[in-house]
Amino acid sequence: MELFNRVGRVLKSQLTHWQQQQEAPEDLLERLLGEMELELIELRRALAQTIATFKSTERQRDAQQLIAQRWYEKAQAALDRGNEQLAREALGQRQSYQSHTEALGKSLGEQRALVEQVRGQLQKLERKYLELKSQKNLYLARLKSAIAAQKIEEIAGNLDNASASSLFERIETKILELEAERELLNPPPSPLDKKFEQWEEQQAVEATLAAMKARRSLPPPSS
């Protein structure tokens, strides 16, 4: 994804307008800086939104993990009291929360990558903005020269432009792409798949229960 396309289009449009209306080049650069400031504001908001979503998902995962641990402890307590059936039911509940925890963990990985992508775009645009602001006089001289020589396309192409424009829409598109990709890789399970999934979950419960019983039968450590 390119970062500065819109800034390039804005500059090209402003150069054309300047040539036609004989607008002061200082005004043109101030307008361009203003456009970039608005882009920075939008990009910072987008970064804040992606970080907030990441932290919310992280809290959900931690909560699911905690509930799964509590069900494990309940299963252990039931087994200690000789109620194997109740322990089995508690482990079934625990398995459900464990599955949710794993799904949220996968989503966190995708969201973390998106946060880093947006942060990188913000840093790149900030550098470009500071460069333009600190070298305004140099750019002003170049703009005057470009207008005099009618080299609008050359200057517009040399500014290595891109944009954070409509970033919220692009983030949403990226999320939808990830979700669509996940759906393609993981199509809805058939009834038979569901039966196997339930069977595998039950096997996991039985394995955990057997491990708990085995630990209870071990002799205590010698002092």
Q: Is 99 annotated as contributing to ligand binding?
A: no
User: CA 112 to CA 161: how far, in whole Å?
Assistant: 26
Q: Which SS3 state, helix, strand or coil, does residue 4 take? A: strand
Short-list 28, 105, 106, 8, CA closest to 65: 105
Q: Which SS3 state, helix, strand or coil, does residue 218 take? A: coil
Q: Is 158 annotated as contributing to ligand binding?
A: yes
Q: Is 163 annotated as contributing to ligand binding?
A: yes
Annotate 165-176 with DSSP letters as a single string. Answer: TTHHHHHHHHHH
Short-list 94, 85, 63, 104, CA closest to 204: 94
Q: Which residue has the tokens 């087994």?
A: 79
Task: Identify the DSSP state of 162.
Answer: B
Q: Is the dihedral of CA 115, 121, 125, 126 positive or negative?
A: positive
Q: Is 133 annotated as contributing to ligand binding?
A: yes
Short-list 25, 1, 27, 37, CA closest to 130: 37
Annotated binding site for ADP: 44, 133, 158, 160-161, 163, 165
Annotated binding site: 44, 133, 158, 160-161, 163, 165
